Chains A and B, each alone.
Chain A
Amino acid sequence: MDVLDSLLLGLESALQPGILLYCFFGVFLGTFIGVLPGIGPLAAISLLLPITYHIEPTAAIVMLAGVYYGAEYGGSTASILLNLPGTAANAVTCLDGHPMAKQGRAGVALFMTTIASLGGGLTGVMALILFSPIIVEIGLKFGPAEYFALMVLGLISASTLASGSPAKGMAMVVFGLLLGTVGTDVNSGIPRFDFGITEMMDGISLVGLAMGLFGISEIINSITLKRDKKITEKITMRSMMPTKKDAKDSALPIVRGAGIGSFFGSLPGTGAAIASFIAYAVEKRTAKDPTRFGKGAIEGISAPEAANNAAAQTAFIPTLTLGIPGSATMAIMLGALIIHGIQPGPLLMSEQPALFWGLIVSFLIGNIMLVILNIPLIGMWVSILNIPYRILYPAILLFIMMGVYSVNNNTFDIYVVALIGIVGYAMSLLRFEAAPLLLGFILGPLMEENLKRALLLSRGDMGTFIERPISMWLLIIAFAILAWSLFSAFRSSLRRRTVAKEQAKHG
């Protein structure tokens, strides 16, 4: 089937009224969550996960995806107006976005970030359309050894690149893998770590884990945060219009940012946040006058916003074509498909073409909806930023519990969420990241299965992982990343020590 036919099929699937509605609901909620600082797309997607049990798989994944890329659109609003990033990927937008707001150019900044987001999003979707079939071809040649090696690479880069301490990140991945083994083992039918509790035989529920780790602990952490800044300025359509110079200065940064974002988004472990930081750094380095950055340079907002939206789209490449998510958010998407009995992988494109291409076309539709939501309706989002958190969180908490309950109509799951919530809060106090844990949890059963199969095929010879070239290279890259992150962690701790000594000497 050629690409055009596929896209037509996708269009047909995405234009069904039900799918359109869920797409709109997803991007709307994504913008809402993105606008609010403190709640990220991960928490929002976990919140919606229970609903996906009750709707058909295409609608479910279209909606969840909409929340994810919608949050990248909305996230810049709080960065610009309050100097608080709406999501992690919008942190770098604060650097020049907030100074622009102080100069009375908040409207222009909001307009340009939306346009940059659209440019980045569309570039990402194009990359998705062009590269997915190629990756599928490669994926079809993968055996269990290659899958295992790819998961090792994904987990190592996800746990070491983004976090400060590689050992802590990896410990969280292993903890997640271990939690993934809870429940009945598919091969032997033996329940593991069930402690004699019937409900535990099905394993720990993804919804409960995600809600406990992200929802509950984020709420506990945010209640006492003071957000006393009120936004008083009016954002009018007139104030949003960029000057000719703004448009000209942003054009190339958007292209560069979109390229950088598309590339890093598709790699496991790096994602929208890292892509936006790199895009900003590149702009600063290539600028004629780098001192303008941090003082309201428009390139400093358009490049990272293009990058994070491009990355949000290309992150779907490994998830959909290989079935290997590169981040915790993508892992939840994968989980949502598995709930419906759909196993993403190289066969998804040929076995479920309406779902695969429908999802991709829905990205295009969703991006256009987001522009409409973010430019004419910006006033609504600004007023949402003024709702105090103490009114929002009790409602969010109740919805979390209603959602968890609705999965099995069972209050046992609520107690599980409470327990996981305490663990999640303890983890945040001790500065252990929850995202690698969730990634490990979802990949755990897949990893065990592929490891078992690979060793069964090789009759117990571990050499199979290095004798097969693709698997060997994946593992070499994984170990290079590991070695590099250990080295840089070691170097930075040495540097801290020298600084401390110097201070003690002069102190």
Chain B
Amino acid sequence: MQNRDIRDLLGGIALIALGLFAAIHAQQYEIGELRRMGPGYFPTALGILLAILGVFIAIPALFREGTRIKIEWKSLFWVMLSIVVFAVFLDRLGLVITSISTVLASSMASDLTWRGRFILSGSVAVITYVIFGFGLGMLIPIWPWSP
């Protein structure tokens, strides 16, 4: 099993699951008939179609060799963390601190030096403040104590 085409196998199975889920979930909406389709008709049809396509993707993958999947865990982790940091901080700590922390977090994924990270986050924070806070006049808190 190990050297099978794992990409299409996983992808196909995910699509089957997704399609079936959508089709079943759509049953709570009125299906209607061809002449007068209800809100459930189109999603049900699409869900079934997606599941069928998933089968066509997964089955041939069983008979085919594939290559291993290489996940960039480090990049994935730091990028996701920086997004969450942004979402959590922005309303509470304001634009400047959020920008610095977000850039610091995402820069952890690369081999930049600590010095480089601080210079980068500081300058990006200034640019962001100038563009969004000052230039576009967006209504966002700039500092933690701003209203």
A residues near B (Cβ < 8 Å) are 54, 165, 167-168, 170-171, 174-175, 177-178, 181, 185, 187-188, 190, 192-193, 216, 219-221, 223-224, 389-391, 393-395, 397-399, 401-402, 405-406, 409, 411, 414-415, 417-418, 421-422, 425, 427, 429-432, 448, 451-452, 455-456, 459-460, 462, 493, 500
Contacts and interface: CB of A to CB of B under 8 A. Distances in A.
10 contacts: A167-B56, A168-B57, A220-B75, A223-B79, A402-B128, A405-B90, A411-B90, A429-B71, A430-B10, A452-B42
B68 to A, nearest CB: 11
B76 interface: yes
A171 B54 contact: yes
B106 A397 contact: yes
Interface of B: 7-8, 10-11, 15, 18-19, 22, 25-26, 29-30, 33-39, 42-43, 46-47, 49-50, 53-54, 56-57, 60, 64-65, 69, 71-72, 74-76, 79-80, 82-84, 86-88, 90-91, 99, 102-103, 106-107, 109-112, 116, 120-121, 124, 127-128, 132, 136, 138-140
Contact of A460 (B11, B35, B87, B128): B35
Contacts of A220: 72, 75-76, 79
Contact of A398 (B76, B80, B88, B102): B102
B80 A223 contact: no
Given A193-B43, A401-B86, A411-B87, A390 B79 contact: no
A402 B140 CA distance: 10
Given A394-B82, A411-B88, 14 more contacts: A167-B53, A167-B57, A171-B50, A171-B54, A174-B46, A181-B46, A192-B29, A394-B102, A397-B106, A402-B128, A406-B136, A421-B79, A421-B80, A429-B7
Contacts of A421: 79-80, 83
- Report, nearest first, the 5 A-B pairs whose CB atoms are least far apart: A460-B35, A390-B110, A460-B34, A414-B87, A171-B53
A401 B136 contact: no
Contacts, number: 172
Given A178-B43, A178-B47, A395 B103 contact: yes
Contacts of B39: 185, 187-188, 190, 192
Nearest to B88: A411
A455 B34 contact: yes
Nearest to A398: B102
Contacts of A417: 83
B83 A409 contact: no
Nearest to B56: A167
Contacts of A395: 103, 120, 124, 127
A493 to B, nearest CB: 8
A48 B90 CA distance: 21
Contact of B140 (A165, A167, A409): A409
B106 A394 contact: yes
B71 to A, nearest CB: 6
B46 A398 contact: no
A223 to B, nearest CB: 4
- Residue of A165, A192, A394, A455 most packed against chain B (CB within 10 A): A394
B39 to A, nearest CB: 4
Contacts of A221: 72, 75
A54 to B, nearest CB: 7
Contacts of B116: 391
A481 B136 CA distance: 47
A393 B38 contact: no
A411 B91 contact: yes
Contact of A455 (B7, B37, B38, B127): B37
Nearest to A182: B43
A168 B11 contact: yes
A390 B60 CA distance: 39
Given A54-B136, A220-B79, A391 B120 contact: yes
Contact of B79 (A174, A219, A405): A219
Given A418-B83, A422-B80, A425-B76, A398 B8 contact: no
Contacts of B38: 188
B56 A190 contact: no
A216 B79 contact: yes
Contacts of A181: 42-43, 46
Nearest to B71: A429
A181 B64 CA distance: 34
B21 to A, nearest CB: 10
Contacts of A418: 80, 83-84, 87
Contact of B72 (A224, A405, A462): A224
B107 A394 contact: yes
Contact of B22 (A165, A178, A460): A178
A162 B100 CA distance: 40
Contacts of B102: 394, 397-398, 401
B90 A456 contact: no
Given A167-B57, A190-B29, A455-B35, A398 B79 contact: no
B112 A390 contact: yes
Contacts of B82: 394, 397
Contact of B103 (A187, A398, A406): A398
